Amino acid sequence: MHHQPIDPRSTDARPAAGPAIDLDHISRLYRTFAEDLDRARERQRALLAPPASMKAQLDDIEAEITYLLLREARPETVVEIGTFHGWSTTWILRALRDNGTGHLHSYDIVDHVVREVPDALATGRWTFTQGDARKNAERIPATADFLFIDAAHSASFARWYVRELFPRLRPGIPVCVHDVFHGRRALPFTEGAVVLRWLAERENTCFTASRARAPEIHDRLKDVKRSLALGHPVRESTDNPMIFFTLR
């Protein structure tokens, strides 16, 4: 049974040296914030109800872990790269609203998100910048204390953020990166391969609830959710490739 974060260099589980984002920790967060998460899930579900035009990409378990890590970390400055229609954006803003503090800076080439995020979530806590995040790099606050990336899934985009963005940010902040574990391993020449190599070079580890990569962790979290009456899907999806780690 996998209880530890995953070493990106191998299929073996090994413990993180820093504060661990692992199965026990995430399970504890599910229990701690169960009531708020239940409310957040129902509000998110309402955003998808007809005649909504919101197209959601992030899977439930990925969105929930992001929400829980945000509730725990209580960041003042969150950076999100890749909003599309705002599914992740609304989850993040909901966590900041439930925290009663924090501002989200979002970046995307397309601006669908500005028509989708309800004013009640956006007002006073959201700044959207349209354009290629790489060209707006100087507008990404170096004070970010939580980073969420779900944008271009190319190796070149990942090389940009590991070389140009990560070094500007404070070590110790939680980071979420999508599209890594669609399968047991990240494919060569992809964003996933680049970020996993970067983590391995720093002897850092990551956590994933990806059904393809870590089926036992995935099933254990599903059990935790069911035990808290959080089992009913907000949206149907079986793909959950996101990784979570602490920046070093």
Ligand X SMILES: C[S@@+](CC[C@H](N)C(=O)[O-])C[C@H]1O[C@@H](n2cnc3c(N)ncnc32)[C@H](O)[C@@H]1O
- The dihedral through the CA atoms of 61, 62, 65, 67 has a sign that is negative
- C-alpha to C-alpha distance for 216 and 235, rounded to whole angstroms: 21
Nearer to ligand X, 110 or 187 (CB): 110
Coil vs helix vs strand at 80: strand
- Residue pair 120/87 in contact by the 8 Å Cβ criterion: no
Mark residues 75-104: x for contact with ligand X by CB under 6 A, - for none: ------xxxxx-xx----------------
Of 16 and 181, which CB lies nearer to ligand X in the complex structure? 181
Interface positions, 103-122, toward ligand X (CB under 6 A): 107-110
Nearest to residue 175, comparing CAs of 73, 31, 45?
Answer: 73
Name the minimum Å distance from CB 115 to ligand X: 13
In the complex, what is the shortest distance from the CB of residue 110 to ligand X, in angstroms, rounded to a whole number? 5
Per-residue binding string, ligand X, 41-70, x by CB under 6 A, is: ---------------xxx------------
Residue 61 has which token pair? 């378990």
Task: List the one residue from 96, 152, 162, 247 that touches ligand X (CB under 6 A).
Answer: 152
Question: Are 162 and 195 contacting, i.e. CB atoms less than 8 angstroms apart?
Answer: yes
Structure tokens at 130: 């349209």
Work out whether 3 is an interface residue with ligand X (CB under 6 A).
no
- Which residues are at the interface with ligand X (CB under 6 A)? 56-58, 81-85, 87-88, 107-110, 132-134, 150-152, 157
